[in-house]
Structure 1
Amino acid sequence: MSIQIKYKNELNSFVSMQQVQGLKEYSKLTYYNNQLQQIETLIPIRNGNKKTVEYFLSDDQVKESIIQGIINAVISDDKITKFSLVIYFSKQIQHGFTSWDWEEYSVDKILLSKGKSTYDAKNRLVFYCFFDLQTNALKKGAFKFYYGGKFDDENDDLLLKFNYYDNGEVELVTDYNDFLGLHEAIYLDEFLYYENEFKWEDHPYYHSAYTILPNSPTV
């Protein structure tokens, strides 16, 4: 059995344990036998701390048992004043990317929301969406991340975020780390003027929220 701990800042970039000491918001990632098992995110709020636990089920685990165990641990921690749990299941893999169904629960085990998410081979989030609890229809608010840097660089920067309407079409594009020199989110027709920095037709994965898993090893 092998357990490894890593940390990320609010921009989803890896940081050292020493750097975490100076952050108000950060995530702790636990790997079990080289597979991402749990993400614990701590965010300070007015009356304490908000904690979100994301847990990735393995084939031999029972969802209900994991939910109960995590919630029991949080209830006993008086420093946590707000909490939510996201359970990931029904894993699918294609071209090195992994998609999951997910469900979010309150501390009272009430289902709050559900959707799908996709991670790349470095366990970085590249897609996230919500479904209506009753109809299973895609809800507005889905997004995808685009990262820069070399694939073997652990500290790749988050460069772009694409937000989508509930019909799956791109709504807004947000620039991170001064990739395009923008200072606010812009609409797709404005973004297309930056073809020299990001050739839109070379990145079909970002054209629609309905493409859950990429159709090629790169996005």
Structure 2
Amino acid sequence: MPILRKRGTMDTKKFVKRLMAYGSKKYGLLYDRWVLFGIRGIDFKDGIVKTNNDNINEYNDALFLIRTVNKSLEFKIYACTIDPGRYWLNQPMNPAGTARIVEGIYKYKLGMHRGHKALNQYAQVTVNRYVPHQNGKPWFKWKDESISVTQAGFFAIDIHAKSSTSKFVEMASAGCTVLNSTWTDAPWSEFFRTIEQAILAHSQPYLCYCVLDQNTAVTILS
């Protein structure tokens, strides 16, 4: 008998294949080299992908590195946040508000973040900005928040590791994609090494980074 899955869940390999098909149809992506997907509000465990609460200030997003080699699928998955932490939402660096990268396709290159090897913008990114709440209202769900302005440009929206072992995002991200891994932990080391080797091995100086919101992930899971 077939194994029945709960609604909003899927075998990881099946999800990756559907993700690839979505990327090809929507953005014309090819997978002869590593492509990075950042997906909001999903968990992965024991070979299953499923949606989560997508709460603010949590490492509840996922990064998928995907490629095919001789028609054989390869992929790696990492827990992360694609969104800013609560600290910077309350104390934005930019007077227009704190940045949250918009769903879309972007290009990233090898670079530095606060003295560490990381990934930097190769081209412009589009962000929505959020201003601090009035009267101490807490931050819970992105779907309940109002966008103050949408901008495109170079805003130092990097991809990097975190500096503390806290389970909450807080100061770790002011809009960057941050792995749930410190600079010296195995997940970050493997992630960056994989991308660094791939970029240095090809004449293309950037990696494609496709950001998807949770509602898009839900359509892929359905």
- Fold match, TM over 0.5? no
Which of the two has higher C-alpha Rg? 1
Greater share of residues in strand? 1
RCO (CA 8 Å, sep 6+): is it higher in 1 or 2?
2
The TM-score with structure 1 as length reference comes to 0.29
The TM-score with structure 2 as length reference comes to 0.29
